[in-house]
Amino acid sequence: MPTTYFKERDKTIAKRLRSLRDELPEFCEEFFVGIESTTSPLTRLNYAYDLRIFFDYLLKNVRAFRTYADVYDFQIEDLNKITIGNLESYVEYLSYYEYEGKESSNQEKGKARKISTVRTFFKYYFNHDRIPSNVAAKLSMPKLHDKDIIRLEGHEIERILSAAETADFMSDHQRKIQASTRARDVAILTLLLGTGIRVSECVGLSLGDIDFDANAFTITRKGGNQAILYFGDEVKDALLYYVEGERKRLINRCQKLEIDDNDKDALFLSLQVKRISVRAVENIVKKYAVEAAPLKKISPHKLRSTYGTNLYRATGDIYMVADVLGHRDVNTTKKHYAAIEEDHRKIAAKVVKLRDQKKED
């Protein structure tokens, strides 16, 4: 079963989703109820965010709905009034728009997600015989251009860990503050680099999930499934040093405080004795990565890419990498972690010579 952390997270998502559903036309309720068994709470939440934007666009930009006072005037029959032209205009609209006084924009990936939501929305009602045709099926997805995979190389891995261990780049005042979280920061970086787990899986870890005798730990994957993973001695040493030292001292200092059981059992704690947040881990990684690889934008996911690539290089087994990383489709692993393209580029840079390197006698 998922840990308390993930149960609380899903509860928060469920509350937010209910609030967003109240901002959509009444017939949308049927859609969310119908997809509940086949989607995660976070997926449904993202659908709700996207549909808010879609109906706001229809209300403000499509002539057939200009007489409507608000989104609550929409009926399911109105889906039949939407043309492929309207949907193509919506794609263009997503490049830049305003919603509730806030300016927003979308690149390829953002557009693709919002279009996918609309296609799923129409498909649901068409498959359930609620509309006679599915105009959204004619809407093409934007082409997603491949981006270079960013990850750390061997010397950069050493530098990011060294930056956390020594804090040489910080001022004296910053080092004094960092001294209270140094072991935690090193343990987080070592765990991410040494196991490839997601940042959500990292912050969700509790002490009871770790078995130091077996060098194993239980994580809750996307979708709520649990898996047992294993870690090497470098990860074990970093975790034990933090748990037996810095973390234990923090708990002892704060014994008089009322600490939530979910927070108290968390593996990684903030100085306020709260379970560390995803945003905090992102900031930790960014802080030290700037010193290790200033030209690269490194996030926790890039550390996951680093681990996946290194594991593939060491084993040559793409199926092992997919299993450890929790990918359902090995093609995802091949695309993001094989690192073949960059290795080929490096080889190409070395084999082409512009001058004859041989010196004449």
Listed residue (328, 222, 175, 192) closest to 6, CA to CA: 222
**Which residue shows structure tokens 């229809």?**
58
Please give the pLDDT value at position 252: 87
> Using a CB cutoff of 8 Å and minimum separation of 24, what contacts does 75-84 make?
75/25, 75/27, 76/27, 76/125, 76/130, 76/131, 79/122, 79/125, 79/131, 80/131, 80/132, 80/133, 82/58, 82/135, 83/135, 84/135, 84/138, 84/139
Indicate the DSSP class of residue 23.
T
Comparing 4-138 with 154-348, is the CATH topology the same?
no
Exposed, middle or buried: residue 256 (CB in 10 Å: 0-12, 13-18, 19+)?
Answer: exposed
Q: Are 305 and 321 in contact (CB under 8 A)?
A: no
- Widest pairwise Cα distance in the chain: 89
Encode burial over 199-229: b for 16+ CB neighbours within 10 A, e otherwise: bbbbbbbbeebbeeeeeebebbbeeeeeeeb
**Coil, strand or helix: which one is 326?**
coil
Exposed, middle or buried: residue 259 (CB in 10 Å: 0-12, 13-18, 19+)?
Answer: middle
How many whole angstroms separate alpha carbon 51 and alpha carbon 36?
16
How many whole angstroms separate alpha carbon 291 and alpha carbon 248?
29
Q: What is the pLDDT along the chain (361 residues), one digit of tens a residue?
A: 456 788 888 889 999 999 999 999 999 999 999 999 999 889 999 999 999 999 999 999 999 999 999 999 999 999 999 999 999 999 999 999 998 889 999 888 899 999 999 999 999 999 999 999 999 999 988 777 667 778 899 999 999 999 999 999 999 999 999 999 999 999 999 999 999 999 999 999 999 999 999 999 999 887 778 899 999 999 999 999 999 999 999 988 887 677 776 788 899 999 999 999 999 999 999 999 999 999 999 999 999 999 998 888 888 888 888 889 888 888 777 776 655 555 656 666 666 667 766 655 5
Q: Which fold has domain 4-138?
A: DNA polymerase; domain 1 (1.10.150)
Domain 154-348 has CATH 3.40.50.1970: no
Q: If you count DSSP H runs as helices and E runs as strands, how many of each does the chain have, helices first?
A: 17, 5
- Residue spans of the domains in the chain: they are 4-138, 154-348
What type of residue is 348?
A: A
**Tokens standing for residue 31:** 């859609």
Listing DSSP states for 286-313 in one string gives HHHHHHH-TTS---HHHHHHHHHHHHHH
How many whole angstroms separate alpha carbon 147 and alpha carbon 138?
27
**Tokens standing for residue 16:** 């937010």
Please give the pLDDT value at position 314: 85
How many whole angstroms separate alpha carbon 153 and alpha carbon 310?
9
Listed residue (308, 324, 119, 296) closest to 217, CA to CA: 324
